[in-house]
Amino acid sequence: MDLEQYQETIEGYLENSLPPDERTLFEKEMAHNPDLKAEVMKHILANEAVGILIEDKIRANLEKVIAKDKAGQTITKDKKPVVRKLFTPMRIAAGIVLLITAVWVFSQFSGHSDNALTAKFYQEASTGTLLGAGSSDVTIEDGQTAMFKEKDLEKAISIFSNIPETDPNYLTAKYYLGHCLLQQNSYSEAANAFGMVYVTMDLPQFINREEVNWNWMLAKLGAGATEEAENTIDQILKNPEGAYFQKAKELEKSLTSIWR
Amino acid sequence: MKDDTIIAAMKAGGREQEKALSYIYHNEDYRKGVRYVVNNFRQLRSEDWEGIFHEGIVHLTKCLVMEKFRQETSLKNYFLGICRNKCREMVRKDKKTPPTLDLPPEDPDQVKSPLEIMLGEELKDMLRAAVKMMSKRCQEILQLKAMSYSMKEIAEELELSGERVAITYNSRCKQQLKNKLQENPNLLNILREYRWI
């Protein structure tokens, strides 16, 4: 059977363009002719295949529209990013301001902490004539060398701590020990050392009792005995002629600062 | 955008088609209509509307491009009819009812071949593969023919020397495609399974 002659009829049948009587005739023929039916099927499949090709293109076009729509939403969202873009430098600026503020606040707070104030108002040790050598193996001169020349506070503390009570320079050793401990932030021990010196009636001449009192107060402040330290400050402030009056005023101001 | 304008734009393809697609895609009446249609199917979830909407647009455009829309109703009603059928298909798929070639078209306005109903993704892929194996020129001719271009128009569109050449090309390409389909044993098996051949 030559199916070539049927091509136009098949097309017409599938396109619904055959006149009704021709259509009926063709369907009858198809029902008795499996080859013709298969040929029609192949036509349908070929049309479907082309339809799929067209559909794919449409789908691709629709996907573009959907993508644009989503991008449009992104643009709407992008408007936020535009704002966000504006926000970004603002955020950075705000971050920097916050950081600076934090650092400043921190510095203010830390600058007004007991430890910071103790370090700030620390009064250095005086030096003077020693009262002759003791009998111990370690001498106060060794401690002085370690403290003032070598700047080795650990060593100096070790030496001053081992000066026996029998040593004529015992109080001087305690005085230097107090200074070393205060510089090492060992406030409680420093307070003990300065306290011992302060309450002693006969101090070596070079040791200034007011200075001992001042550093003792600082040691107490550093040790957290704020109330005791404030009492000492109050006492110092009662004497405007005193050597530590100005310092006491400054310290009081710092102690009453809002940053504490 | 009037129906005629949409139809013309859809047929024109390319950017014009994209504009028309965008119009329908963003048209709230079309959207509401599909939501309403989907809500009438108890078996479907309300969120299914979007998939139905997308597939409906593709199908509508295909019908417009292939000149299957006879303009007996408004484009929107025609579109909603398509979506209604898509919902039925979805329900049928969920029930796993095997498609039959005798399945009557629910909406008489819909030009939907039984094969189209039967076409699963697997079969579609086979057809797609077969048509993609053809030359670009053949694909273009067959597409234009499917879009109801006359042979004269096809000749003009593809800059062929004349109508006669377009007819010859079309005939050869169609035969080529049929041969390619016939070469695919899987495709034939499926057709036999459904007693189409």
**Sequence-ordered strand ranges (E) for chain A:** none
Q: Is the dihedral of CA A64, A65, A70, A76 positive or negative?
A: positive
Please list the helix, strand and coil fractions of chain A in percent, rounded to the nearest 5, in that order.
75, 0, 25
Report the pLDDT value the prediction gives residue A112, as an integer from 0 to 100.
67
- In angstroms, the first-to-last Cα distance of chain A is 109
Name the nearest CA neighbour of A41 among A57, A30, A32: A30
Q: Is A93 an interface residue toward B (CB < 8 Å)?
A: no
Among B113, B130, B147, select the one facing A49 at the smallest CB separation: B130
d(CA B98, CA B26): 35
Residue B31: other Cβ atoms inside 10 A:
15
Q: Residue B178: pLDDT band by 50, 70, 90 thresholds?
A: confident
Q: Which residues of B touch A53 (CB under 8 A)?
A: 128, 131-132, 139, 142-143
Instruction: Supply the pLDDT for residue A211.
Output: 92
- CB atoms B58 and A51 under 8 Å: no
> DSSP string spanning A81-96?
HHHHHHHHHHHHHHHH
- Mutation test of the interface with chain A: which of B10, B17, B19, B30, choosing the one with the most A Cβ atoms within 10 A? B17
- pLDDT tens-digit readout, B50-79: 999 999 999 999 999 888 888 888 999 999
Helix (H, G, I), strand (E, B) or coil at A238: coil
Report how far residue A126's alpha carbon sits from residue A155's, in angstroms, rounded to the nearest whole number.
19
B105, B109, B111, B117: CA torsion to nearest 10: -30
Regions of chain A with pLDDT less than 50? 74-80
pLDDT above 90 as % of chain B: 25
Q: Do A50 and B143 touch (CB under 8 A)?
A: yes
How many Cβ atoms are within 10 Å of A185's Cβ, its own excluded?
A: 13
Task: Indicate yes or no: CB of A58 within 8 angstroms of CB of B61.
Answer: yes
Per-residue pLDDT, A87 = 63
pLDDT of residue A69: 83
Hey, how many other C-beta atoms are within 10 angstroms of the C-beta on B195?
8
- Partner-chain residue, chosen from A41, A54, A65, that has the shortest CB–CB distance to B143: A54
Q: What's the pLDDT score for residue A73? A: 62
Cα–Cα distance measured from residue A10 to residue B20, given in angstroms and rounded to the nearest whole number: 33
B129 touches chain A (CB under 8 A): no
Contacts with A187 (C-beta within 8 Å, 6 or more apart), sequence order: A118, A181, A219, A220, A221, A222, A223, A224
Q: Are A162 and A143 in contact (CB under 8 A)?
A: no
Residue pair A173/A146 in contact (Cβ under 8 Å)? The answer is no
Query: Which DSSP letter does residue B96 get?
Result: T
Whether the full predicted model's pTM is greater than 0.90, yes or no, is no
Buried (b) or exposed (e) across A155-181, using 16+ Cβ within 10 A? bbbbbbbebeeebebbbbbbbbbbbbb
Q: Which of B6, B11, B57 to mutate to test the interface with A (most CBs of A within 10 A)?
A: B57
Contacts of A58 in chain B (CB under 8 A): 17, 21, 58, 61-62, 65
- The whole-number average pLDDT for the span B103-132 is 63
Give residue for tokens 């006149």: A19
Find the angle CA(B112)-CA(B116)-CA(B120) to the nearest 5 degrees.
150
Count of CB atoms situated within 10 Å of the CB of B97: 10
- N residues, chain A: 260
- Spatial distance between the Cα atoms of B126 and A48, rounded to a whole number of angstroms: 11
Residue A119: partners with Cβ closer than 8 Å, 6 or more residues away: none
Residue-wise pLDDT for A114-137, tens only, equals 777 888 888 888 877 666 655 556
Looking at beta carbons, which residues of chain A come within 8 Å of B116? 48, 51
Average of per-residue pLDDT across B140-166: 88
CA of B59 vs chain A CAs: smallest distance (Å): 8
Q: Coil, strand or helix: which one is A8?
A: helix
Instruction: Report how many Cβ contacts below 8 Å link chain A to chain B.
Output: 98
Q: Which chain A positions have a beta carbon within 8 Å of B26's beta carbon?
A: 69
pLDDT reported for residue A110: 62
Backbone φ and ψ for B105, nearest 5 degrees, come out as: -70, 130
Q: What are the tokens at B3?
A: 């129906």
Residue B61 is predicted with a pLDDT of: 93
What span, in angstroms and rounded, lies between the C-alpha atoms of A62 and A230? 81
**B contact residues 35-94, partner A, Cβ 8 Å cutoff:** 54, 57-59, 61-62, 65-66
Beta-carbon separation of A34 and B196 below 8 A: no
Q: What are B71-116's pLDDT values in tens digits?
A: 888 999 999 999 998 888 888 776 654 444 443 344 544 544 555 5
Residue A65 contacts B, CB cutoff 8 Å: yes
Give the pLDDT score at B88: 87
Tokens of A8: 């136009």
In 3D, which of A219, A206, A237 has the Cα closest to residue A122? Answer: A219
Chosen from A8, A48, A63, A68 to mutate, greatest number of chain B CBs within 10 A? A48
**Rounded-to-integer distance, Cα B115 and Cα B102, Å:** 10
Least confident of A61-65, A202-206, B6-10, B183-187: B183-187
Q: Which amino acid is residue A122, in one-letter code?
A: Y
